Amino acid sequence: MKRIVSFLLFSLLFVWASGAQEYKPYLSVSEVRSSLRVLPPPPQEGSIEFLMDKITYWEYYRLRTADTLRARQAVIDADMSDPGALYSEAFGLTISKENTPDTYLLLQRSMECFGSSGCDEAKRFYNRTRPFVYFSRTSLTPGAEIWLRRNGSYPSGHTANFFGLAYVLADLRPERNEQLMRRANEGGISRLIVGVHWASDVAAGKIVAASVYEYLKDNPEYRAQLEKARKEVQALLK
């Protein structure tokens, strides 16, 4: 029965991943600075930094049972198929395909720039083992573990997405910057709670997000869609 459930969850993950590719990212890997040049190598076994990674893993591992509501939110944050839903509260407006189509499209096309175009090169090069594999533990998203075992953990693509989208939304509503950055930080911490990333992966994801954003904000297609989304948001706020 457990195998059947895991297979179904993995199938859903595959469907989501396929659907995400419907939105062409504004930037390809070749159009952003290589993450191998942006980031330092991940901490090595035996280093103080890796010891801190391991200590942090166990701290958040214990949090799963100590704070079940936060653990549940971490699982929700793992599914980024609808980034608008994850950010609506922090943004102060409901972001959806129906309510804000221009803002929704802006987020979907921007997201792949951070998590995929920005992170994939370093992920493949370092192929870092994820903490749930290293400690032979189960993550909070067991249905995704087959895929995660084949996908390096450094840097955290989800964290890059969370912070990158916060930058994009702050372009639309700068007065919500504090709430948006707080939400991005929660998204990064969620990866630690789920057990699929080390703390240094999350820190690296933040760096990638900032680097990619510098390229994204100068992209003509992004700027054109950003202006449409800004008008859409301003109309709703009147």
197 as an active site residue: the answer is: yes
Sequence-separated (6 or more) residues with CB below 8 Å from residue 232: 100, 101, 102, 103
Query: How far, in Å, CA of 74 to CA of 193, rounded?
Result: 6
Query: How far, in Å, CA of 97 to CA of 94, rounded?
Result: 10
Taking every pair of C-alpha atoms in the chain, what is the biggest distance, in angstroms?
57
158 as an active site residue: the answer is: yes
Which among 109, 128, 130, 197 is annotated as catalytic?
A: 197
Query: How far, in Å, CA of 15 to CA of 132, rounded?
Result: 24
Which among 109, 128, 158, 183 is annotated as catalytic?
A: 158
CA distances from 182 to 6, 40, 188 (A): 32, 25, 10
* Residue for token pair 């991940």: 42
Which among 130, 176, 183, 191 is annotated as catalytic?
A: 191
72 as an active site residue: the answer is: no
Task: Please name which of 168, 213, 152, 161 lies closest in space to residue 188, comparing C-alpha atoms.
Answer: 161
What residues act catalytically? 158, 191, 197, 201
